[in-house]
Amino acid sequence: MQNQNDNGVRSAFLSENMRRRARYQLVFVLLAAAFVLITVLNINTGSVAIPVGEIFRILLGQAQDSPQYSIIWKIRLPRILMAALLGGGLSLSGFLLQTFFGNPIAGPFVLGISSGAKMVVALTMIYFLRFFSHVSSWALIVAAFAGSLMSVGFILLLSRKLKQMSILLVAGIMIGYICSAVTDFVVTFAEDADIVNLRGWSLGSFSGMSWDNVGVAAVMVGVTAAVTFAMAKPIGAYQLGEAYAQSMGVNIRAFRIALIVVSSLLSATVTAFAGPISFVGIAVPHLVKRALKTSKPLIVIPAVFLGGAVFCMGCDLIARTAFAPTELNISTVTSVFGAPVVIAMMLRRQGGKAA
Amino acid sequence: MSNFYFTTRQLTVGYDGVPLIHDITIDIARGEIVTLIGPNGSGKSTILKSITRQLRMIGGQVFIESEELRKLSYKDLSTRMAVVLTERMKPELMTCRDIVATGRYPYTGRLGILSAEDEIKVEAAMDAVHALELRNRDFNAISDGQRQRVLLARAICQEPEIIILDEPTSFLDIRHKLQLLSILRKMAKEKGITVIMSLHEIDLAQKISDKIICVKGDHIARSGPPEKVFDADAIRELYEIDQGSFDPLFGSIELPRPEGEPQALVLSACGTGIPVYRSLQKQGVPFVAGILYSNDIDCRLARVLAAEVIEERPFMPIGDDAFNRALHWIERLPRVINAGVEIGQTNARMAELIERAKDKS
């Protein structure tokens, strides 16, 4: 009898395992399908409509001298790739910060990390453009990284005093406001020629991306995302809390530093190219984890990256086309979709606590 | 060193470099259960956090066998020591089995994927704490008792030589307390796993532990086997009990005796008096208990609850002394309660007392 019972429980477990695996596969297939669909839509739509058949011919390198060819290869494709790379990077950065702070509402935007990066990038741009005609992508990334670390450092300093996460988040939002104020100030007084560039960028946008930008972003995001994936195991341990992670053999000091550096690099890369983008870092990891019904980093990390890419490509499509020819800021669109998700998430958590 | 498994030498612990407890020197053999007791805030957790390396030690040394704790890498330590902590973890979307499986962390590869062997060990650990049926439940949706068992399974699954538990029985009801402690007992004896923990329940500490460590003020007040450590005065002193008492023999705790002039005499024997004493105590009525043989179970409780106990030496006929004292109280007191006395050859005079007290009951 006992044995039979055991077998029953065992097979229940095995079928649960199968169900889980099926769910993971379904989510990945859906995300991949959405990725392809949005990519095609993105290439297809714009002020010049290009039929789908034509798109595939062009992508395969045919019809090189048509104007459509250069629209796709010089404007739309780099922009799409950039939205995908940066969206994925931003979501991963959010996931890492949520792991670090043990709070699902943490993210590069709310903690003021994006704004810190924005401020230093704005200052760097103005300084460089005064003396040189050109700022390299790498210089901007370094500036954004410095700004990110500055904000993170400040948050970490505060987190020693402020044990309560909600207050820490408020502090992060305040840091964000201060940095934005400084940015607005320097942008207002910058020379006219610079402003055109800065205005659009400081509000967040994927427009005007070159293949050079794509290359640099691909290297940065690719390497850091790979490092994140390699850290999946300690991240899983860290989800149980610092003390447990340490008891499982994780070197907490080194791990925490790695986590902060990687997440700052990711959000710095995004900010350097596209400016601060709100809510993606919180909403996407949350939605992806809900869909997968797990928080296992090994599965969540690639899914979050893919989800972020799809989300940002979708938002960019809307930003480009909703009120064409006027283009919206990317943050306008991500906020419209992201903020309700965050509010729903908070309501859910609060409800869970009360029950 | 010696052949002890876990030893500390002049260990000093505290927070941020400020020493809290000095000169902790403990020797623990393999498979022993050692319990830290002491008042709230006495530093039990500080000691446990220091020997699990969550806190930096301020001075002294800790050895696991002959290796110094500080020189072990976190990874090496993780295959020897597992922990069950008080801090509430709120993992997101993890089943109980996922939680237990994290115990295999030190043994899995670069990406932490469980092998078939790991899976079997996870199952076995869950089975050992009777938690198999919780497998697919969300960890946040189970009760405190279940949670502690799952966390213990997680620790067992890590295949440690020593498990450190910080107040594992807090929040648990009595059934789950007993269940958890008997699992620990079994584990320690059968697998030779050493257990160090802190407990609030001194009665349980006494019953489960091979060694007790009393933490008080800035030092270890006492340590040793429970029979040595537990005497009524030591416990009273350790916890600064000024209300009530602790019986080291049974590990029972009692509220203080009612104060004032006695108002009733309780006649009883062989346990019949105990419910009467308790009821009088609750009503706040001071009473005299008698005539009790000093080996009577009533006598043990009467000593801490009654205003006066009329005692007689065991197995002797009731002497004049005790008899007259009882008569004296019967005359003086308005109430005499006969809780039921079995009359035999040696206590025949009790029948006479009961007769004399008839009009007062």
What contacts B142, CB < 8 A, 6 or more positions away? B96, B134, B150
pLDDT at A197 (0 to 100)? 66
**B102/A243 touch (CB, cutoff 8 Å), yes or no:** no
**B78/A247 touch (CB, cutoff 8 Å), yes or no:** yes
Question: What would the pLDDT profile of B174-226 be if each residue is shown by its tens digit?
Answer: 988 999 999 999 999 999 999 999 999 888 999 999 999 999 888 898 899 99
Within 8 A of A4 by CB-CB distance, chain B residues are: none
Spell out where chain B has E strands: 6-15, 18-28, 33-37, 59-64, 67-68, 81-84, 162-166, 194-198, 211-216, 219-224, 245-247, 252-254, 264-267, 287-293, 308-312, 335-338
Question: Picking from A56-70, A328-342, B111-125, B301-315, which range would have the lowest pLDDT averaged per residue?
Answer: A56-70
Percent of chain B with pLDDT over 90: 69
- B264-360 has CATH 1.10.3470 classification: no
Tell me which residue in B73, B87, B106 faces A243 most closely, judged by beta carbons. Answer: B87
**A295/B53 touch (CB, cutoff 8 Å), yes or no:** no
**Residue A239 Cα, gap to closest chain B Cα (Å):** 6
**B110/A230 touch (CB, cutoff 8 Å), yes or no:** yes
Chain B, window 100-129: residues with a beta carbon less than 8 angstroms from a chain A beta carbon: 102-103, 105-106, 108, 110-113, 123
Q: Which domains does chain A have, with CATH numbers?
A: 22-354 (1.10.3470.10)
Question: What would the pLDDT profile of A214-249 be if each residue is shown by its tens digit?
Answer: 999 999 999 999 999 999 999 999 999 889 999 999
Q: How far apart are CA A340 and CA A322, in angstroms?
A: 20
The residue extents of the domains of chain B are: 6-247, 264-360
- The arithmetic mean of pLDDT across residues A271-276, rounded, is 88
Residue A8 burial by CB count (10 A; 0-12/13-18/19+): exposed, middle or buried? exposed
Tell me which residue in B53, B94, B136 faces A16 most closely, judged by beta carbons. Answer: B136
Within 8 A of A16 by CB-CB distance, chain B residues are: 135-136
Distances (CA, A) of A294 to A20, A343, B116: 9, 21, 21
The answer to whether the B6-247 and B264-360 domains have the same CATH topology is yes
**B87/A294 touch (CB, cutoff 8 Å), yes or no:** no
pLDDT at B1 (0 to 100)? 46
- Which residue numbers in chain B have pLDDT < 70? 1-2, 361
Chain centroid to CA B180: how far?
12
A250 touches chain B (CB under 8 A): yes
Within 8 A of B94 by CB-CB distance, chain A residues are: 239, 294-295
Q: What CATH superfamily is the domain B6-247? A: P-loop containing nucleotide triphosphate hydrolases (3.40.50.300)
User: Looking at chain B, which residue has its C-alpha nearest residue A228?
Assistant: B111
